[in-house]
Amino acid sequence: MNVLIACEFSGIVRNAFRAFGADAYSCDLLPCEDDGGDEFHFTADVRDIIRESKWDLMIAHPPCTHLAVSGARWFKNKAVEQRDALRFVRQLMDAPIDRICIENPISIISSQIRKPDQIIQPWQFGHGETKATCLWLKNLPKLVPTKIVDGRTPRVHHASPGPDRWKERSRTLEGIANAMAIQWGGWEWDKNPNA
Ligand X SMILES: C[S@@+](CC[C@H](N)C(=O)[O-])C[C@H]1O[C@@H](n2cnc3c(N)ncnc32)[C@H](O)[C@@H]1O
List residues near ligand X by CB under 6 A: 7-10, 12, 27-30, 45-47, 61, 63-64, 170-172
- Whichever of 28 and 124 has its CB closer to ligand X, that residue is 28
Least distance CB 7 / ligand X (angstroms)? 3
- What distance in Å separates the CA atoms of residue 31 and residue 194, rounded to the nearest whole number? 35
Q: Is the Cβ–Cβ distance between 44 and 66 less than 8 Å?
A: no
Task: Tell me how far CA of residue 137 lies from CA of 29, 45, 77, 140, 148, in angstroms.
Answer: 24, 22, 30, 6, 22
Least distance CB 9 / ligand X (angstroms)? 4
Q: What Rg, from alpha-carbon coordinates, does the chain have?
A: 16
- Whichever of 7 and 179 has its CB closer to ligand X, that residue is 7
- Whichever of 44 and 195 has its CB closer to ligand X, that residue is 44
Least distance CB 128 / ligand X (angstroms)? 19
- Whichever of 19 and 189 has its CB closer to ligand X, that residue is 19
